[in-house]
Every structure is written in structure tokens, then in C-alpha cells.
Chains A and B, each alone.
Chain A
Amino acid sequence: MPHFTVKISPQGPLVDAAVMVGDARQQALQAAAQNVPAPQMIRALIDTGASISGVDPAALKALGLSQTGEAEIHTPSTKGVAVTTPTYDVKIAILAGRPGDLHFISDTIQVTATELTPQGFQVLIGRDILKSCILHYNGADEYFTVSY
């Protein structure tokens, strides 16, 4: 199984990643003679406490995305009441290991827009992506490995 291993940072299991428009949207943009926005290079936190992945609105805006769905979400900030959030279709690639190495690329997935930049990263990689991976978190030796 392909895999990558990364040192755990003080903020947790962080990886370099890219958020990009999905293949179908890319083809629609090209058919309309519009530019395809460049992938957004960001930092992502692997978060097993998230059942859906989230992307900072600034990265989604830079991709020129339109809402294609909605989801009900509970977070500590919603104080026990689910809130309805717009969702967007994107692909997420994890760029971990040696510089230039490309690892995991997700299918086109549904993500929420979530203010994350103040926390030091722009994407939460949730269990919707991790469901096709094996995550080995070695806190004692301060590294984690993702096999996919």
C-alpha cells in the first residue's frame, strides 16, 4: 500500500496539501473558455474528530466555486444546535514526504466552508477522506503514517 510518514507538529498531524477544482468543473470551465483556477497550496490538519472535511473560505473563494449542496453540522461553537452550511465540490491532494512528492488525491468530495486560518491551517481532513486510509499515529515517537 502506498503511504507517507510525517513528523507530528506541535499543532498535531499537519501536512502540506492542495485544494483544487474537481475534474468535471474543470471541464465545464474550459468549455466556457474560462480560466481554471490554480490549486491552492495550503496546510491541512488530519482530524479524526471531523466527520466531514472543511476548507477555509479564502481558499474556496480563490477557486471561484459555487455552492452545490448543504449540510447540517454540529461543532462546539454551535452550542448543541446543528447549523445548515453551504457545501462545495473540490479535490484535495496531500503533498507529503520529499519536496515535490505527490501522495494521496481524493475523489471529488463535498466540503464545508470553515474559518480555519487563525488556527494555523486551512483544511481539516476529516473521516470522509480517511475512510479509505489507514492512519497510524505514533505519539511516543512523534510521527504518523497514512496508508491509502
Chain B
Amino acid sequence: MPLEKELETYRKKLPELKAQEGKFVLVHGEEIIDFFSTYEDAIKSGYQKYKLEPFLVKQVHTTEPVFFISRNIVPTTTAL
């Protein structure tokens, strides 16, 4: 599964990230790399540092937010 390692790193380290609530974290492998105020800045840093290698950008939330789409669509649950 793509980003398996990065997602595991994020979940494992989440309790330590409370002070960064709302910021966007860049994760590569087993490392938390940095925090950013915007999604675009985090993505930009990811591509600059890791080029086309896998990296994760996630907004830090101690309680995971849920997005809503009221239209009856089926979200894709596996990577492309």
C-alpha cells in the first residue's frame, strides 16, 4: 500500500504533535520532516526534498476530521 510507512509514522507520533494542531506535516519514511502553515507549502517542500519519491502531507488533527460529500458518489478507497 502506498504511504503505508508514512501513515504508520504519523499515527505513531501523533500524540507528540499536539502543539502543531492544524498545521500541515511532511512525513517521509519513519521521519517527521517539518510543519507548514499551508498545504501548498508542505507539498512544495515534499517535492523539493524527495522529488518523485513517496511522501505524505497531512493536516495535524488529534481527532481526525471527516469530510462530507452530500452527492451519492462512491469514493475510491485504494490508490490509483
CB atoms of B80 and A57 under 8 A apart = yes
Looking at chain B's contact residues, the main secondary structure is loop
Distance of B58 from chain A, by nearest CB (Å): 6
A residues in contact with B47, CB < 8 Å: 24-25, 27-28
CB atoms of A78 and B67 under 8 A apart = no
Within 8 A of B (CB), among A48-82: 49-52, 54, 57, 60-61, 65-78, 82
CB atoms of B69 and A22 under 8 A apart = no
Assess whether A9 is interfacial by the CB under 8 Å rule.
no
Within 8 A of A (CB), among B30-57: 38-40, 43-44, 46-48, 51-52, 54-57
CB atoms of B71 and A115 under 8 A apart = no
Q: How far is the CA of A41 from the CA of B56 in the complex (A)?
A: 27
Within 8 A of B (CB), among A14-58: 22-25, 27-29, 31-32, 34, 47, 49-52, 54, 57
Distance of A135 from chain B, by nearest CB (Å): 16
B residues at A contact (CB < 8 Å): 2-3, 7, 38-40, 43-44, 46-48, 51-52, 54-58, 64-80
CB atoms of B76 and A74 under 8 A apart = no
Which one of B7, B46, B54, B68 contacts A73 once the chains associate, using CB atoms below 8 Å? B68
CB atoms of A114 and B75 under 8 A apart = yes
Q: How many residues of A sit at the interface, in one of the four size bands?
A: 35 or more
Assess whether A108 is interfacial by the CB under 8 Å rule.
yes
A residues in contact with B48, CB < 8 Å: 24, 27-28
CB atoms of A114 and B67 under 8 A apart = no
Q: How far is the CA of A132 from the CA of B73 in the complex (A)?
A: 25
Q: How far is the CA of A82 from the CA of B77 in the complex (A)?
A: 11
Assess whether A107 is interfacial by the CB under 8 Å rule.
yes
CB atoms of A67 and B80 under 8 A apart = yes
